[in-house]
Structure 1
Amino acid sequence: MIGELLRTQPEIALFTSLAIGYLIGSFRIGPIQLGGVCGTLIVALLLGQTGARLAPDLKNIAFALFIFALGFTGGPQFFANIGRGWRYGLLSVVEIVSVLVLIMIAVTVMRLDAGTAAGLLAGAATESAVIGTASEAIARLGFDEAQTLRLQANIVTAYSVSYLFGLITIVLFTSQFAPLLLRVDLREEAARVWRKLGGDGALSEGQHAAAPALVGRVFRIGAAHGATVLTIEQQHGFNLTIEQVRRNGANVPVDPHLALASGDIVLVAGRREAIVAAAPDLGDEVDGAGFGQVLAEKLDVVLTRRDAHGLTVAQMRERAPPDEARGVYIAAVTRLETTIPALPGTELNRGDVLTLVGAKADVERGARRLGYVLVATQKTDFVYLGLGVLVGMAIGHLGGRIGGVSLALGTGGGCLLSGLLFGWIRSRHPLVGSLPPAAAQILKDFGLATFIAAVGLSAGPDAIKLVREYGLALPAAGILMVLVPGLLSLWIGRMFLKLETPMLLGAIAGQQCSTPAISALVGVTGNSTPVIGYTITYALSNIFLPLMGPVVVGLAGKLS
């Protein structure tokens, strides 16, 4: 009865897979969480035993939207990091090369077919997008329909088996085993790096902060009698600003060359540690009830200045003319939808979203100098979106033969490259191509989940056969494909690249595209310093790994 209902109304199977799959994926055991995509796949594989199938066109459309949105959101950071973030980017190269070598060894030793090899890559590297690009590559091999469906089913089954073991391995490796190998206390090391970047020891993102990083306080001038506003601000690296001065009960216009007098009541805003350091030189702190909120305006600004790329927050403030930088503070830095510490030593990239706070006139002036304001909008430019997907489909028809191996990008690879290009154009010309972050996230989440549900339903009958054929070999291979690149990156990053341990471990989590791993790392370190390394390798691996799907299919087909 249920099987007949699912076969005649496959949309029921789709939304059942999504609902139950995301419910299963939400459960957490320690730092391990399957996630909605893997949960959806497991449920779809079970429901696929009933014979329920989704139309191939729906699967293709869903994947095209997902992969385009993935490229679109990652485009600005990808191009920003591909040149200057070479130290971290090298770790993504280590990941790509080592997993390809390991896959080819597995193909030779275990006699894996092209589908199983691609699924092993997707699962061990925890990169679901490989399923789509590899499936398209298999469809172009010229096999009959039954053989093509069997190989595509093997991708999904191998992915589902190796994903769980790859996920557990990368989480435990980065948060537990690697610190033991390096003989470091990860929490103490992260605290040291936090202070090195200019943090003052206050707790960071993910914790309950002891005090906000940016504050406003009121002082009665004593020891600072006779000093000018500019002198005081300059002494403290322009990390504080005298916003208001009240003399004999009346407000005095604040000018950089204004000399402060004993008894003046001044409102000082800026970084908390700078104000704490300046307090003895200013005078006694007094009640500020008569002053308004000074850090009241907040603007999200996309950094587009070419000369600002690679500079730290402190360097950018030092190089800016005082009259332009005065009163503008960076409260947060968002990169690839992930918040990284906005500390003086944090390096900024073009494409970063900077949250500026301060007085209205100050932050508007800062926004004009740094880039463009990220206007909150709910509107999606469907002309731009549709054109981008069409261009991606056109690029997907490109292909050729390299060393006797037939390679074609397919719709997935083409839309990924198109998304990169259109996202980069959008970052340079913000008046065109609106795709709000929430809309892009829906495209990615729903597109990938629908695609995964479709391939899981079609793979159901063949899943058990593959598991019986290889047994524990696939999980073991998945574990090795995490440990070998991880150990290589750990050695190269420590011995040759001289990367700080928290950033190095974050980069290893990023090269595996593992969100659970970076979440576990942030929990262990107690601050968000690992995220700095994570965002760079995540941006690169998230693009390069899906493009390896057709490569693995071509090479495995040649060897097997």
Structure 2
Amino acid sequence: MIVELLKTQPEIALFVSLALGYLIGSVRLGPISLGGVCGTLIVALVIGQTGARLAPDLKNVAFALFIFALGFTGGPQFFANIGRGWRYGLLSIVEIVSVMALVMVAVVLMKLDAGTAAGLLAGAATESAVIGTASEAITRLGVPDADVATMQAHIVTAYSVSYLFGLITIVLFTSQIAPLILRVNLREEAARLARELGGDGVLDEGQRLALPPLVGRAFMAGPAAGSAVAAIEARFGNNLTVERVLRNGEQIDTDAQFMLAAGDTVFVAGRRESLIEAASSFGEEVPGGGFVKALAQRVDVLLTRRDLNGVTLAQMRERAAPQDGRGIYVGAITRLDATVPALPGAVVHRGDVLTLLGAPADVARGAKRLGYVIQQTQKTDFVYLGLGVVIGMLIGRFGVNVGGVSLVLGTGGGCLLSGLLFGWARTHFPVVGSLPSAAAQVLKDFGLATFIAAVGLSAGPDAIRLVREYGLALPLAGILMVLIPGLLSLWIGRMFLKLDAPMLLGAIAGQQCSTPAISALVGVTGNSTPVIGYTITYALSNILLPLMGPVVVGLAAKLG
């Protein structure tokens, strides 16, 4: 009865796959978890034995939405990192070239078909989007429909097997094996790096400082009486701001020319270390209960200024005129889905989201000069979304023939490129194209999970045959396709690029598009410095690897 129900109502099979898959994917063994996508695939492969199938149109629409949203959210960072951060970007190139070479070696030695080769690439590189671009490329090989179905089934089976072993390998390599090879204490290196970047430590995800970096304190004007506000602020590197003065029972907003007088109660805000240093210069500290209207505002601003791409936060403050930067502090930097430590030495890129803190007037002035405020809207511009997907599908129809290998982007590659361009355009023309981050995340998560469930259900008995045919060869290939690119990047990054160990290992986790690896690495280092390297390589690999799907299918079809 259940089998018949799943066959006649395949939508039930879809949501059962999603529910059970994400439940299985949430189970953690230390830092390692399969994740919802791989869990969904495993459940779908099992349910697929019942004969339940989803319509191909649903699969194609789901993947188009996922891949467009992926490009849209990654577009600003992708283009920002092409010209900047080249040392980290080079590691993404090392990953792509080496893993493609290893796949072709496996094709020749193991006699892999195009589907198994593409699945091996997707699983070992832990990049699920390759499944979609490769699946579509297989339909264009001009082979019988039965062979197309078999090879598409081989993609998901090879992916599920190699993904599991590739995931375990990259987590262990970045957090345990590589530090031993480098002969470094990763926690000490990360603490030293945080100090060099201008901080006294950066926290794990989910932790908050007991002593916050930005604070406000009140003083009775003693030694500071008779001094101009501008002179006091400049003495401490403009890392503090005299926001307000209580004089004769009246609160007064200050400016740079304001003169402090004896008997004033002074409200000062800024970086904690600067206020500690400056405390004796102001006078006796007081509770400051009279400053009932001293408000701080928190605003997220998308950085769009071209001249600030690739500079540090400290350099941003140095370049700004004192009256422009006065009272504005960066509390956080968000890049893609990761939070980069907002230390003075942290480099910002066009497309970053800067969280500005300060008085409302100061924050508004800073937002206007840096980019535009991200409005907290829940509305999606479906005109922009629909137009982007349509253009992507049209782009995907074009292809080239290189050395007898036909390379066609297909819907997946076309929508990825379209998403990149539309996301980049959004940063330049922010009045159009609203796609809130929460909505984009739903499109990515649900679109990919639905696509994966559809291809898993259609795999059927072919999955079992493939595992029996290759046995331990696929897991071994998955391990080698993580270790060899990782070792190459470790050698190049340390010997030639001279990268610090925490950021180098973060970059290796990013070139593998591995969220569990960066989570494990942050846990080992004790702070978030590895995220700085991770975001750059993740932005590049997350876009470039899916484009390799048609390439690996074309090459494998010719060589295999």
TM-score for both structures, normalised by structure 1: 0.98
| Corresponding residue number in structure 2 for 1:489 | 489
Superposed displacement of residue 272, structure 1: 1.1
Q: Distance in 2 between matches of 1:492 and 1:537?
A: 14
- Retained in 2: the 8 A contact 1:393–1:415? yes
Contact persistence 2:202–2:527 (CA under 8 A): no
Distance 1:201 1:448, change over 3 A: closer
Q: Does 1:395 find its partner at 2:395?
A: yes
- 8 Å contact from structure 1 (residues 206, 527) kept in 2: no
CA contact (8 A) 1:44 1:456 kept: yes
Equivalence for 1:260: 260
Local SS of the residue matching 1:238: coil
Describe the SS at the equivalent of 1:435: coil
1:350-499 matches, cutoff 5 A: 350-499=350-499
- In 1, the alpha carbon distance for the partners of 2:179 and 2:227 equals 50
Shift of 1:248: 4.0
Distance 1:119 1:247 in 2: 72
Give how far 1:251 is off: 3.3
The 5 Å alignment of 1:220-369 reads: 220-292=220-292, 294=294, 296-369=296-369
1:485 partner letter = P
2-structure distance, mates of 1:52, 1:258: 75
What is the aligned length?
Answer: 560
Counterpart residue number, 2:175: 175
State the SS of the aligned residue for 2:242.
strand
User: Given that residues 333 and 342 in structure 2 are in contact (C-alpha distance below 8 angstroms), is that contact kept between their aligned partners in structure 1?
Assistant: yes
One-letter identity of the residue aligned with 2:221? I
SS at match of 2:461: helix
- Aligned to 2:389, the other structure's residue is in SS state helix
Deviates more, 1:211-220 or 1:51-60: 211-220
Quote how far apart the aligned CAs of 1:188 are.
Answer: 1.0
Superimposed CA distance per residue, residues 278-302 of structure 1 (whole angstroms, 9 cap, x where no aligned partner): 1122222211222136452111110
Deviation at 1:80, TM superposition (A): 0.4
Of 223-232 and 445-454, more deviation after overlay is shown by 223-232
Instruction: Structure 2: give runs of 5+ residues left out of the alignment.
Output: none
Q: Which amino acid aligns with 1:506?
A: G
The answer to whether the 8 Å contact 2:397/2:411 transfers is yes
* Distance change >3 Å, CA 147–CA 204, structure 1 → 2: closer
Residues 207, 526 of structure 1: 8 Å contact kept: no
Asked if structure 2 preserves the Cα contact closer than 8 Å seen for 1:409 and 1:550, the reply is yes
Q: Which residue of 2 aligns with 1:190?
A: 190
Contact 1:138 1:151 in 2 (8 A): yes
Paired with 1:277 and 1:412, the residues of 2 have a C-alpha distance of 56
Deviations 1:194-219 (A, max 9, x none): 11111134746432412111111111
Runs of 5+ consecutive residues of structure 1 not aligned to the other structure:
none
Q: Matched residue of 2:245: which SS? A: strand
Letter of the 2:266 partner, please give it.
V
In structure 2, C-alpha distance between the alignment counterparts of 1:438 and 1:56, rounded to whole Å = 27
TM-score of the aligned structures, taking structure 2 as reference length: 0.98
- The equivalent of 1:96 in structure 2 is 96
User: Take 2:21 and 2:104, find their aligned partners in 1: how far apart are those partners?
Assistant: 32
Q: Secondary structure at the match of 1:258?
A: coil
Residues 519, 278 of structure 1: alpha-carbon distance in 2 compared, 3 angstrom cutoff: same
Which secondary structure state, in structure 1, belongs to the residue aligned with residue 284 of structure 2?
strand
> CA 1:160–1:537 in 2, change beyond 3 Å: closer, same or farther?
same
1:403-446 deviation digits (Å, cap 9, x = unpaired) = 11111100000000000000101111001111111111111000
Are the counterparts in 2 of residues 269 and 295 from structure 1 also a CA contact under 8 Å? no
Cα contact 1:95–1:511 (8 A) shared by 2: yes
Match of 1:111 in 2: 111
Query: Share of identical aligned residues, percent?
Result: 76
Letter of the structure 2 residue corresponding to residue 185 of structure 1:
N
Please state whether the residue corresponding to 1:227 is helix, strand or coil: coil
Describe the SS at the equivalent of 1:517. Answer: helix
> Which residue of structure 1 aligns with residue 25 of structure 2?
25
What is the CA deviation profile of residues 350-400 of structure 1, one whole-angstrom value per residue up to 9, with x for unaligned ones?
001111111111100111000011001111111111110010001101112
C-alpha displacement at 1:62, in angstroms?
A: 0.4
Which residue in 2 is equivalent to 1:156?
156
User: CA 1:519 to 1:150, structure 2 compared with 1: closer, same or farther past 3 Å?
Assistant: same
Q: How far apart are the structure 1 equivalents of 2:442 and 2:203? A: 32
Counterpart-to-counterpart distance in 2, 1:187 and 1:226: 47
**For residue 231 of structure 1, what is the amino acid of its counterpart?**
A
Which is worse superposed, 203-212 or 425-434?
203-212
1:554 aligned partner? 554
In the TM superposition, what whole-angstrom CA distance separates every residue of 1:34-83 from its partner, at most 9, and x where no partner exists? 10000000000000000110000000000000000000000001000011
8 Å Cα contact 2:244/2:294 also seen in 1: no
AA paired with 1:105? Answer: V
- 1:200–1:273 CA contact under 8 A, matched in 2: no
SS at match of 2:301: strand
Aligned equivalent of 1:530: 530
Q: Distance in 2 between matches of 1:146 and 1:297?
A: 61
The alignment yields a C-alpha RMSD, in angstroms, of 1.2
Q: Taking structure 1 as reference, are residues 202 and 467 closer, same or farther at Cα in structure 2, changes over 3 Å only?
A: closer
Q: CA deviation at 1:260?
A: 2.4
For 1:137, the equivalent position in structure 2 comes to: 137
Q: Which residue of 2 aligns with 1:540?
A: 540
